[in-house]
Structure 1
Amino acid sequence: ADCFERSESRDHFYCFMAGQFSELERKSIEPIAIAVEGGNVRAMQRFVSAAPWDDDKIMTKYRNLVKEDLAHPDAAIIFDESGFVKKGDDSIGVAKQYCGSLGKVENCQVGVFAAYTSPYGYALIDKQLYLPQKWFLPDYEIRRQKCNLPEDTAFKTKPEIAAQMLKQIAEEQILPFKYVLADSVYADSPHFVEAVEALVGVTYLLQVPKNTLCWLKHPGAVTKQYQYGGKTLSKKVLSDHAKNPIALSTVAESINRFFWYRKTVSEGTKGPIVYEFSKRQIVLAQDGLPKKTVWLLIRRTIGDDPVYSFYLSNASASVRLNTLVWLSGLRWSIEQCFEETKTELGMDHYEVRKFPGWHHHILTSMLAHFFLWHLKIRLGKKSTSHYAFAA
């Protein structure tokens, strides 16, 4: 009740969420307002897009609810983005960009999300609309004003948004977690990786592209001095006997078949989903020099022409293969969050154009999704095979 300034807003909030739980085919503002008792289309439009919400307070209360049902010391936080196809160019953040739900570049909005997964279930716990850099050009000033974008909003890359989310979640100390998972969009960002590494006791598993360069053994680096502008300077270079770094794809193809281990990672509609895995420690290359030693987990499909996936982890030297395999399967949780909120609750049905409206619609979808989890947990009907099977 203390998250809204007026009682009318609380009523609209209740009606809007009731509409998301309904069997309406389209769960945008107008169909919901027409269908629910006491609904008013214009009033609900103002509520979602313009009325003041205490978003931070709602999010804090929400994460405390998630804590009550899902908190676990071995939980993982997963970062990923989801696209929302849009027509026209007036909606906040819309642009021709890669849309994951379609697997191609399309006119869409993209949100960066954080999900929480544990032995008890999974839920989205944060969201932020990604704004392409062109939205901050002078040509877009009128559009920014029409979309009610806060004036102090600055451009951030997706990894920078995720790093900010992670820092806030960690500083709040509401939800305990031990692992951080993400794909190559975030793994390629030193800013994001450093944000994870700054958290004591947290292990990451990040998917990376096959052309990532590394050494199987430390190549050795030496400091050489040189003269420049009358001054003696120094720089690190590879030792004379060092070999050039190689791509992860080359590492995978060179692994003897005896070092591949077959693991069942989940149950599919046509039976168990099985991959082969291998792990080894490598030294990452950055700007032609050794950077750090990490674990490399390689996953490949079974067959004559295998498809490889690559993951890097800062896990301890004693980490078991089963642990890394288990972590590689947990990212499925955030994909389920997207699937369930879009198909069951209409997360992608919105027709709002303004910045606050996007965040409010996505936030109510997150709350509705967790409420369904809450009910199923209380009724003992929700399976947690997403977590237990890989473990």
Structure 2
Amino acid sequence: MSVSSWAGGLVDWRRTLTEIKRFIAPAFKRIEQRQTAGIFIDGLLSRAERKTGWMLAEEAGLDRPYRIQSLLGRSLWSADELCERVRHYVIEALGDPDGVLVVDETGFLKKGDQSVGVARQYSGTAGRIENCQVGVFAGYASRFGHALIDRQLYLPKEWAEDPERLQKASVPEDLAFATKPTIARMMIERILDEGVPCAFVLADALYGSDSKFRSALERRKQPYVLAVRSNHTLRIFREEQLILTDTETMIDELDAQAWQALSAGEGTKGPRLYEWTRLPIARPNEDGFQRWLLARRSLRNPDAIAYYFANAPAETTLAELAAAAGLRWTIEECFLRAKDDLGLDHCEARSWHGWHRHMSLVMVAAAFLVKISAQQRRHAFGKWNETSPDDQVMAVA
């Protein structure tokens, strides 16, 4: 996908590309790093089929990929600072009170066992156990678009408990083993601490089934809609008795009239209609928040039911919960675009910092494309935000 064809000539994409390069520049220590990062980003946005060091160098007219490889490996700069700047840039473009945060993981198939974090493990991308790396990501979605805003590589226990392997891959010494829900929880808390506008946090059953993940959001009074499995155990007090049940059984006990046809958002062929229902699984707490068990049923196949835990102000409607749940697909779209168009899964770096640098640079390229789309949407909505990251560059210069 070329930059010009994506922009469609409706906005000044060259100015926007220059703008984002200026905005991320302080993340790099030297002018040579900034120039190479610009070359790297241009290559990611080019028509090059593979975004490898050699092909990015060839796209830039370089004789060899030394500069590209050095940017990911030998040079000194912070991938976390770059990621934070990408996040601020994306929120400037997409931020909205109705925006949502979505967490999910994606796999990167690998050969051999030298790349950091690679192991025989389940990959949702492949749908089976494969030799791969797995990264946990956070995405942001609003009516103006959606983009990835954070990332962290998951280290399986066999890696986390092997000091020699960790040292060889330049893994930070203070990094301990953490489950994917733990990584996601720390990631979401960091993002929310920055004041990112967020109406709901969304995630699949791996995260929704984790009580610590849910509790952390509840302590912050942060609404969420989190998928759970059909056999997730529930303890319900009914008529002063403790009843053990599961999500599927509770929903099966509801009357047919309890279901309501609602949209889960717009799809490629119009509104995505499902039947929805909910029932409270606790009394409203002192803060006025209510917990619900939420369910979505296919109109074509009534046996196809998805289950969620939801926590939000008691006045939140079923339609609002359905609309929020329907936005979880946005992070899958982010993965698809970043892999197919920008080389998210073409990382050749074997080290911890190399992986995070590659992912962060791809996120820069994706943020550029999202900013163009957001500009078009804001103009279409007649609600252009005058604030520009240019002002922020001046502030930190």
Q: Per-residue deviation at 1:63?
A: 2.4
The match for 2:54 is 30
Residue 149 (structure 1) aligned with residue 190 (structure 2):
no
2:352 aligned residue (345, 352, 355): 355
1:170 aligned residue (183, 187, 192): 192
> What residue identity is the alignment partner of 1:364?
L
CA contact under 8 A between 2:261 and 2:276: conserved in structure 1?
A: yes
> What residue identity is the alignment partner of 2:157?
Q
Tell me how far apart the structure 1 counterparts of residues 175 and 146 of structure 2 sit (CA, whole Å): 30
Are the structure 2 counterparts of residues 329 and 244 from structure 1 closer, same or farther at C-alpha, using a change threshold of 3 Å?
Answer: same
1:28-75 Cα shifts (integer Å, max 9, x gaps) = 222111221346412311211231112333233222212321111222
Q: Per-residue deviation at 1:99?
A: 0.6
**Pairing 1:360-379 to 2, within 5 Å after superposition:** 360-379=357-376
Q: Per-residue deviation at 1:293?
A: 6.8
SS at match of 1:244: strand
Are the structure 2 counterparts of residues 304 and 15 from structure 1 closer, same or farther at C-alpha, using a change threshold of 3 Å?
Answer: closer
1:148-183 Cα shifts (integer Å, max 9, x gaps) = 11222111111111111122112222x222211111
The match for 2:204 is 183
Tell me how far apart the structure 1 counterparts of residues 51 and 99 of structure 2 sit (CA, whole Å): 32
* TM-score (normalised: structure 1): 0.84
> What residue identity is the alignment partner of 2:131?
N
**Pairing 1:4-15 to 2, within 5 Å after superposition:** 4-15=28-39
Tell me how far apart the structure 1 counterparts of residues 185 and 193 of structure 2 sit (CA, whole Å): 12
Are the structure 2 counterparts of residues 243 and 3 from structure 1 closer, same or farther at C-alpha, using a change threshold of 3 Å?
Answer: closer
Q: Per-residue deviation at 1:257?
A: 1.4
The match for 1:237 is none
Are the structure 2 counterparts of residues 23 and 383 from structure 1 closer, same or farther at C-alpha, using a change threshold of 3 Å?
Answer: farther
Q: Per-residue deviation at 1:243?
A: 5.6
Any gaps of 5 or more consecutive residues in structure 2? 1-24, 284-288, 382-397
Are the structure 2 counterparts of residues 330 and 107 from structure 1 closer, same or farther at C-alpha, using a change threshold of 3 Å?
Answer: same
1:310-367 Cα shifts (integer Å, max 9, x gaps) = 1111122222110110011011111111111111111111121111111011101111
Moved more, 94-103 or 260-269: 260-269
> What residue identity is the alignment partner of 1:147?
A
The match for 2:257 is 258
Aligned length: 352
> What residue identity is the alignment partner of 2:36?
H
Residue 208 (structure 1) aligned with residue 207 (structure 2):
no
Residue 329 (structure 1) aligned with residue 329 (structure 2):
no
1:288-327 Cα shifts (integer Å, max 9, x gaps) = xxxx972111111124551111111112222211011001
> What residue identity is the alignment partner of 2:184?
A
The match for 2:335 is 338
Tell me how far apart the structure 1 counterparts of residues 207 and 197 of structure 2 sit (CA, whole Å): 21
**Pairing 1:1-391 to 2, within 5 Å after superposition:** 1-38=25-62, 40-137=64-161, 140-173=162-195, 175-200=196-221, 202-214=222-234, 218=238, 220=240, 242=241, 244-268=243-267, 272-283=271-282, 294-303=291-300, 306-380=303-377
CA contact under 8 A between 2:338 and 2:362: conserved in structure 1?
A: yes
Are the structure 2 counterparts of residues 181 and 312 from structure 1 closer, same or farther at C-alpha, using a change threshold of 3 Å?
Answer: same
Structure showing greater relative contact order (alpha-carbon pairs closer than 8 Å, 6 or more residues apart): 2
> What residue identity is the alignment partner of 2:114?
D
CA contact under 8 A between 2:145 and 2:373: conserved in structure 1?
A: no
The match for 2:389 is none
Are the structure 2 counterparts of residues 214 and 360 from structure 1 closer, same or farther at C-alpha, using a change threshold of 3 Å?
Answer: same
CA contact under 8 A between 2:236 and 2:243: conserved in structure 1?
A: no
CA contact under 8 A between 1:373 and 1:382: conserved in structure 2?
A: no
CA contact under 8 A between 2:290 and 2:314: conserved in structure 1?
A: no
CA contact under 8 A between 1:218 and 1:283: conserved in structure 2?
A: no
Tell me how far apart the structure 1 counterparts of residues 314 and 63 of structure 2 sit (CA, whole Å): 59
Q: Per-residue deviation at 1:251?
A: 1.7
SS at match of 2:331: helix
SS at match of 2:38: helix
Are the structure 2 counterparts of residues 280 and 304 from structure 1 closer, same or farther at C-alpha, using a change threshold of 3 Å?
Answer: same
Q: What is the root-mean-square deviation of aligned Cα atoms in Å? A: 2.3
Are the structure 2 counterparts of residues 115 and 181 from structure 1 closer, same or farther at C-alpha, using a change threshold of 3 Å?
Answer: same
Are the structure 2 counterparts of residues 60 and 244 from structure 1 closer, same or farther at C-alpha, using a change threshold of 3 Å?
Answer: closer
Greater Cα radius of gyration, structure 1 or 2: 1
Q: Per-residue deviation at 1:141?
A: 3.1
Q: Per-residue deviation at 1:271?
A: 6.0
More helix by share: 2
CA contact under 8 A between 1:376 and 1:382: conserved in structure 2?
A: no
Q: Per-residue deviation at 1:207?
A: 0.6
Tell me how far apart the structure 2 counterparts of residues 13 and 154 of structure 1 sit (CA, whole Å): 30
SS at match of 1:278: strand
The match for 1:236 is none
